[in-house]
């Protein structure tokens, strides 16, 4: 199916978004060169400020307007985070130094959710964004395969594969972050395939999946496989046949290659002697115990509390679970507001039957819910590695271009 592009895309806005996405990735390249993670936070914070200026400019020239309902959600989030931040200082005085992280969260939520377009929704903007992500993803993959070819060959040959996979990260300095960007790139490739039905995009999917496999990032690998399976399930006409064939292939595979549970859970050990999954469960349990003893379930302990708490106990900066991080920092209210918007976008996608990229986008956002259960580097509205990119792709752009629905007499009415 061909997707005709409109010619009235606002160049200033799309160029601003494009520069922001590029700078988000460029910040990782700077870290790769300098070995200083500070540059990622610095560049991303500058990007959020620039986006805020762009949105306010478009508000001033009346190209955008503010959504009253989303402004109320933003106000509720602001009050919640400020109260949690003040309360948290009673337990961790160092939280006062994390005010910038709080501001980033509020700016990100404001820019991504509170604006609407006055003109007709232009879906070309989203295609441009996904094309750029696909190009950047391909560049990062070829960079890894060329610069880190020794690690690639070692993993394929099974020579010191654990260490080699750990150091196979392109220019992202962490294999998990590289794997998550490959996942976003798979979504971008399926997005393009759904619109143009060109097999070259399926070749890109295979290339990204192969690189995720080399990194041995278990979370991203299984989430990527789920993403691909869900996409073809939604696209396939005879779903029962597809499920039956998939089940037969799965049973055939495990009969030939018995599944080793140690491989499924990952084969890396930590200095503490705990494997990856056990360590995660231990951190999550300690988070819930802390929230219970401090009675901070509703408002959280303030932005930065998770970082402070974990560095004191486990020498980590996050719980490796976006949901736990959000609850610990901002409480249940923040969790409901943040992922309420996430599910709002998904519901609008489900109802938008005529959107030519519906299946790929629903599959991508659903798969990332699995990633959020095990990782935090790509959490939305956060001051971290890829929050800028995921906030734009999952919330900001869909919120601007997707139609809204109002239920009247049990019928969906586009508004």
In whole angstroms, give the CA distance from residue 5 to residue 7: 6
Average pLDDT for the chain? 87
Residues of the chain above pLDDT 70, percent: 85
> DSSP alpha helices (H): ranges in 116-215?
124-147, 149-157, 161-166, 175-196, 200-215
Tens of pLDDT, residues 287-321: 999 999 999 999 999 999 999 999 988 888 889 99
For residue 257, the model assigns a pLDDT of 47
In whole angstroms, give the CA distance from residue 299 to residue 158: 48
User: Which residues face 115 on adjacent strands?
Assistant: 66
Q: How confident is the model at residue 158 (pLDDT cuts 50, 70, 90)?
A: confident
Asked if 221 contacts 27 with a C-beta cutoff of 8 angstroms, the reply is no
Q: What angle do CA 194, 222, 286 make, to 5 degrees?
A: 130
Tens of pLDDT, residues 322-353: 999 999 999 999 999 999 999 999 999 999 88
In this prediction the pTM is 0.89
Of the listed ranges 87-96, 142-151, 257-266, the least confidently predicted one is 257-266
In order of 176, 357, 381, 383, the CA distances from 387 in angstroms are 14, 22, 6, 7
Paired sense of beta strands 115-117 and 405-408, if any: unpaired
For residue 72, the model assigns a pLDDT of 95
Using the predicted structure, report yes or no on whether residue 41 has a pLDDT greater than 70. yes
In whole angstroms, give the CA distance from residue 78 to residue 328: 16
Tens of pLDDT, residues 239-252: 666 676 666 666 65
- Please report which helix (H) or strand (E) contains residue 66, including its range: strand 64-66
Q: How confident is the model at residue 120 (pLDDT cuts 50, 70, 90)?
A: low
> Higher pLDDT residue, 261 or 212?
212
The two tokens of residue 252 are: 């055939």
Q: Where are the beta strands (DSSP E) in 221-340?
A: none
Give the count of beta carbons closer than 10 Å to the beta carbon of residue 354: 6
User: Which residues face 412 on adjacent strands?
Assistant: 407
In whole angstroms, give the CA distance from residue 296 to residue 358: 39
In whole angstroms, give the CA distance from residue 31 to residue 37: 5
**Residues ≥6 apart with Cβ < 8 Å to 163:** none
Using the predicted structure, report yes or no on whether residue 111 has a pLDDT greater than 60. yes
**DSSP letter assigned to residue 269:** B
DSSP per-residue string spanning 70-98 = HHHHHHHHHHHHHHHHHHHTTT-GGGGGG
Tens of pLDDT, residues 358-411: 999 999 999 999 999 999 989 999 998 899 999 999 999 999 988 775 544 444
Q: How confident is the model at residue 275 (pLDDT cuts 50, 70, 90)?
A: low
Residues of the chain above pLDDT 90, percent: 69
Using the predicted structure, report yes or no on whether residue 116 has a pLDDT greater than 60. yes
Q: Calculate mean pLDDT across residues 272-298.
A: 84
Asked if 133 contacts 393 with a C-beta cutoff of 8 angstroms, the reply is yes
For residue 252, the model assigns a pLDDT of 54
Asked if 333 contacts 78 with a C-beta cutoff of 8 angstroms, the reply is no
Asked if 43 contacts 24 with a C-beta cutoff of 8 angstroms, the reply is yes
Using the predicted structure, report yes or no on whether residue 272 has a pLDDT greater than 80. no
């Amino acid at each position: 199916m061909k997707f005709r592009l409109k010619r009235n895309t606002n160049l200033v806005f799309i160029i601003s978004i494009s520069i922001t996405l590029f700078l988000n990735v460029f910040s990782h390249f700077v870290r790769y060169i300098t070995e200083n993670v500070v540059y990622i936070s610095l560049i991303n914070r500058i990007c959020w400020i620039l986006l805020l200026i762009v949105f306010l400019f478009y508000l001033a020239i009346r190209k955008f307007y503010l959504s009253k309902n989303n402004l109320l959600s933003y106000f509720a989030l602001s009050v919640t985070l400020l109260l949690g931040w003040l309360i948290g200082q009673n337990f961790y005085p160092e939280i006062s130094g994390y005010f910038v992280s709080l501001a980033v969260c509020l700016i990100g939520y404001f820019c991504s959710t509170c604006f609407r377009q006055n003109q007709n929704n232009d879906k070309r903007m989203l295609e441009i964004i996904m094309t750029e992500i696909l190009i950047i993803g391909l560049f990062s993959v070829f960079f890894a395969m060329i610069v880190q070819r020794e690690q690639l060959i070692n993993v394929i040959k099974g020579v010191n594969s654990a260490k080699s996979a750990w150091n196979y990260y392109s220019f992202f300095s962490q294999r998990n972050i590289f794997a998550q960007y490959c996942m976003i790139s798979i979504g971008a490739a399926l997005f393009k395939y759904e619109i143009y039905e060109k097999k070259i995009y399926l070749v890109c999917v295979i290339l990204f999946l192969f690189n995720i496999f080399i990194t041995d990032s278990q979370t991203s690998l299984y989430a990527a496989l789920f993403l691909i399976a869900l996409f073809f399930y939604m696209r396939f006409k005879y779903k029962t046949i597809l499920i039956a064939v998939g089940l037969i292939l799965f049973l055939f595979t495990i009969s030939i290659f018995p599944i080793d549970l140690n491989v499924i859970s990952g084969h890396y050990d930590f200095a503490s002697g705990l494997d990856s999954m056990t360590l995660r469960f231990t951190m999550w349990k300690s988070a819930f115990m802390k929230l219970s003893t401090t009675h901070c379930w509703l408002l959280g302990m303030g932005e930065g509390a998770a970082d402070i708490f974990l560095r004191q106990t486990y020498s980590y900066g996050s719980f490796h679970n976006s949901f736990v991080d959000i609850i610990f920092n901002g409480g249940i209210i923040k969790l409901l507001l943040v992922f309420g918007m996430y599910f709002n976008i998904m519901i609008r996608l489900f109802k938008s039957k005529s959107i030519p990229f519906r299946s790929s986008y629903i599959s991508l956002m659903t798969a990332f819910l699995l990633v959020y259960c095990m990782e935090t580097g790509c959490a939305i509205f956060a001051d971290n590695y890829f929050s800028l990119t995921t906030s734009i792709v999952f919330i900001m752009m869909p919120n601007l271009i997707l139609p809204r629905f109002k239920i009247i007499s049990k019928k969906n009415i586009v508004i």
